[in-house]
Chains A and B, each alone.
Chain A
Amino acid sequence: MKYIWLIPLLPGIGAAVNGLVGIRYFSRKTAGTFACAMMMLALGLSIVAFWELLGRPADQRAFDVIGPDWFPAIPLQMHDGTIGSFRAPWGFRLDPLSGMMLLVVTGIGTLIHVYSTAYMVDEPRGGFARFFCYLNLFCFFMLMLVLGSNFPVMFVGWEGVGLCSYLLIGYWYEKKSASDAGKKAFITNRVGDWGFILGVFLIFYTFGTLDFREVQNAAALMPVETGHFGVLSAICLLLFVGATGKSAQIPLYVWLPDAMEGPTPVSALIHAATMVTAGVYMLGRNAVLLSHAPEVMTIVAVVGVLTALMAATIGLVQYDIKRVLAYSTVSQLGYMFTAIGVGAFSAGAFHLMTHAFFKALLFLGSGSVIHAMAGEQDMRRMGGLKKFMPVTFATMMIGTLAIAGIPPFAGFFSKDEILFRAFLQNKVIWSLAVVTALMTAFYMFRLMYMTFYGGYRGPAWETGGHGAAAHGGHHADAHGHGHAAADDSAGHGHGHGAWHGPHESPTAMTFPLMALAVGAVVAGFLGIPAAILPSGSAIEQFLEPSFTASAAAEAGQTAASPEAVAAATHAEPAGAEPAAQGAAAGHEAAEHHMSTAGELGLMGFSVLVAVAGILTARKFYVTNPEISQGLAHRYAGAHRILSNKYYVDELYDATAISGTFSAARGLWGVDRKVVDGAVNGTGWLTLFSAWLSGLSDTHIVDGAVNAVGWTAEESSYWFRRVQTGLVQNYALLMLFGVAAFVGLYLIVR
């Protein structure tokens, strides 16, 4: 456990080696194997560390590794006028929340690395190593974000994953749309990061420390800001702005759908499972702050549920298989924010985990489909793929059932927990979330039906080569691991030369699918609610210490004592009105408000909603496909709005982007007229004064000098006649002179 700092470092080493050496020298196999090995090592370490964490008693589950400061302490003034010392050590902390994220990131990260070795096999050698360098670098930063024990370290990871997201979205940088999407993601995230860093500064200004636990303990002592906006609300709002950028919430969600321009494993790892959940994780880290700012929690919940609803409606009409999944991701992230907004932090984190499993699974499955269709992403040109790729179909079906919320798959438990908590908090939010759940089931099954059922609508392929063993090259590498379920078509080359029709993907791709499918089934069992299992939700009890301040601080002692962390769960001040906002107390309150039967009833209702969505999709896209066409024609206006994603991109183009452009143009005008004018005016003035002083030089100074010379020259014509050269002449003059002086002397005396 002392070596948790190695966990982020291993992929970092992988990135450095692959980036510095691999791009030039490594073969595809070396680069891929090396990157995977680093991730597997990190996964192994994470599992060991997590196991040790589980081995501790529940109230001691926090482990710190504090490294040296990474910049010298900077004295800064704080809100009460005292001088605080702004310092940030390389601190890593393993506690339940970061432990869970650690397993998600390294586990899914490893699977996706393995998957990518097969998916990216058609890339040129250097590009292949570059891809794995970026992937490893991403994992490095993501693990740093997760493990960081203070805000600056988290911010380093936060910015780093943004950078890697940009690099990976624009991986095919020769494609204009891909590089544009990368820039869009980067710039949109920058807006959020601005909020985040301001929040961090305000935290330092208020508390004088940036360590998560110290901030939590300090915040726990401050009064809850009900009905007004105080400094805690301002902090939470700024942090939430950061979270909306990274986690693609309204109004900054626009980058995520475009991010689908990147390779599909990237979409699975970064834009579904890990990076986009960083915002949820960050808000969860600051659960105590949020609990003290109920007004901001309401904002979070409203934004979350609106995002969920809006993204789901857009997802209804998209035809690009990855875009459907992208909007689904935005929608599910909206759920997580709703959970945080209603105070169900552990439910949000639980959904984060299950979502990571089934959404990574769905993305990888869609990648498998795209791979099989030689790059085709339009679902209108797929169909009937079930018989070509049974493993992909089966695993994707599990993922789809999970996201739709059918028991006993993972998504059911996590989503239902959120719905239940939303129901207790606010009926309007709950009803919107249920509508979203209905649409989720609908569009996911629409995707499944359009892709895997019905007749094949894609392009024809050459049948001549079908079944022939003649093809070779590097493809054999990817297939060399053995053929599990793909033996009938495993040998088919694609992407180069003739395409022999859709086929099952190689084992390196199907294995991660199967592993994730298992995860998508069993991950939910961690969170079986108390209504079904008397012992209550395991993951909620596990995560709870991360969302509360330590009991010592609660009792008024400032010293943070990790031993007392979990005790806070039961030490919530009784009778405090806002206690319902706190995660711990909220849970207890929930059980008072709602009978077990009621909870079960809600569960049954949400299952019914999901089934209704599935049946509608079946009716629209399998039994009578003309219904969806008819609806699209009948409500052409609504359909057009949805197809164009509510014109939000156009709105941003017209306001923020063109505003920026015209402001830039205006500033350029100011530059040209005022600044350049001033500079040019100064230059002209200098020239003019130089001309003046030149004039005075030539005429006055030179004139005086010349006049002296001229006078000397002219007068010398006369005076030189004195110099006769005759000695006697001189002697005579001398005599006269002496005589004159003597005469003068005699006379004057």
Chain B
Amino acid sequence: MITPTHYMLLSAALFVIGVVGVMVRRNIIIIFMSIELILNAVNINLIAFSAQLQNGIGQVFAIFVIAVAAAEAAVGLGIILAFYRNKETVNIDEMNLMRW
């Protein structure tokens, strides 16, 4: 029997993987993918509890999150593309223009 605990463990695992990915990788594409992992960990949580509580609002939320993630991916990839065209790199350590 799959209980909410399992879902939460899965979601926590995905979240931690995502966070570690954001922290340690230098490739901004990978960091982006890790952010997607974090978002989807949240989505799993929302859907699991929606099913558990017999309430559709959680699923609606998940669909919203997916939509926001898609928009974010579009904007973020655009920025990355523009950045790459200028700097010929996607290394996040090179991206320090906002320093003092």
Give bound CA distance, A726 to B31, whole Å.
13
**A728 touches which of B92, B97, B98, B99 (Cβ 8 Å):** B92
A contact residues around B95 at 8 Å (CB): 725, 727
Shortest CB distance B79–A (Å): 12
- Does B5 reach chain A (CB closer than 8 Å)? no
Beta-carbon contact of B19 and A735 below 8 Å: yes
- Does B88 reach chain A (CB closer than 8 Å)? no
Shortest CB distance A743–B (Å): 16
Give bound CA distance, A732 to B93, whole Å.
14
Beta-carbon contact of B22 and A723 below 8 Å: no
Residue pairs across A and B with CB atoms within 8 Å: the count is: 27
- Does A724 reach chain B (CB closer than 8 Å)? yes
Beta-carbon contact of B22 and A725 below 8 Å: no
**A726 touches which of B19, B22, B93 (Cβ 8 Å):** B93
Give bound CA distance, A732 to B96, whole Å.
16
A contact residues around B23 at 8 Å (CB): 728, 731-732, 735
User: Quick one: which of B14-62 are within 8 Å of A by CB?
Assistant: 19, 22-23, 31
A contact residues around B19 at 8 Å (CB): 735
Q: Mark B62-96, 1 if CB is under 8 A from A, else 0.
A: 00000000000000000000000000000011011
Shortest CB distance A563–B (Å): 114
Count, chain B residues at interface, CB 8 A: 12
Shortest CB distance A429–B (Å): 117
Beta-carbon contact of B22 and A724 below 8 Å: no
Shortest CB distance B20–A (Å): 10
Q: Mark A716-740, 1 if CB is under 8 A from B, else 0.
A: 0000100111111001100100000
Shortest CB distance A718–B (Å): 12
Shortest CB distance B25–A (Å): 9
Beta-carbon contact of A726 and B92 below 8 Å: yes
B contact residues around A723 at 8 Å (CB): 98-100
Shortest CB distance B74–A (Å): 19
Beta-carbon contact of A728 and B22 below 8 Å: yes
Beta-carbon contact of B97 and A725 below 8 Å: yes
Give bound CA distance, A724 to B92, whole Å.
12
A contact residues around B92 at 8 Å (CB): 726-728
Shortest CB distance B37–A (Å): 14
Whose C-beta in chain B lies nearest to the C-beta of A720? B100
A contact residues around B98 at 8 Å (CB): 723, 725
Beta-carbon contact of B100 and A726 below 8 Å: no
Give bound CA distance, A732 to B22, whole Å.
9
**B99 touches which of A725, A731, A732, A735 (Cβ 8 Å):** A725
Shortest CB distance B44–A (Å): 19
A contact residues around B93 at 8 Å (CB): 726
B contact residues around A720 at 8 Å (CB): 100
Shortest CB distance A647–B (Å): 103
Whose C-beta in chain B lies nearest to the C-beta of A721? B100
Give bound CA distance, A89 to B22, whole Å.
109
Shortest CB distance B60–A (Å): 26
User: Quick one: which of A143-159 are within 8 Å of B by CB?
Assistant: none
B contact residues around A728 at 8 Å (CB): 22-23, 31, 92
Shortest CB distance B86–A (Å): 16
Whose C-beta in chain A lies nearest to the C-beta of B99? A725
Give bound CA distance, A720 to B98, whole Å.
12
A contact residues around B100 at 8 Å (CB): 720, 723, 725
Give bound CA distance, A735 to B16, whole Å.
11
Shortest CB distance B52–A (Å): 23
Shortest CB distance B13–A (Å): 17
B contact residues around A726 at 8 Å (CB): 92-93, 96
A contact residues around B31 at 8 Å (CB): 727-728
Give bound CA distance, A720 to B100, whole Å.
7
Whose C-beta in chain B lies nearest to the C-beta of A722? B100
Shortest CB distance A224–B (Å): 111
Whose C-beta in chain A lies nearest to the C-beta of B19? A735
Give bound CA distance, A723 to B98, whole Å.
8
Shortest CB distance A447–B (Å): 117
Give bound CA distance, A746 to B32, whole Å.
30
Give bound CA distance, A723 to B97, whole Å.
11
Whose C-beta in chain A lies nearest to the C-beta of B35? A731
Give bound CA distance, A725 to B19, whole Å.
19
Shortest CB distance A40–B (Å): 108
Give bound CA distance, A248 to B96, whole Å.
111
Whose C-beta in chain B lies nearest to the C-beta of A735? B19
Whose C-beta in chain B lies nearest to the C-beta of A726? B96
**B96 touches which of A725, A731, A735 (Cβ 8 Å):** A725
Beta-carbon contact of B97 and A731 below 8 Å: no
Give bound CA distance, A735 to B23, whole Å.
10
Give bound CA distance, A731 to B25, whole Å.
12
Shortest CB distance A14–B (Å): 98
B contact residues around A732 at 8 Å (CB): 23
Which are the 4 A-B pairs with shortest beta-carbon distances? A725-B99, A725-B96, A720-B100, A723-B100
Known: A725-B99, A725-B100, A728-B31. 13 other contacts (CB 8 A): A720-B100, A723-B98, A723-B99, A724-B96, A725-B95, A725-B97, A725-B98, A727-B31, A727-B92, A728-B23, A732-B23, A735-B19, A735-B23
- Could you list 10 examples of A-B contacts with CB < 8 Å? A723-B99, A724-B96, A724-B99, A725-B97, A725-B100, A726-B92, A726-B96, A727-B31, A728-B22, A735-B19
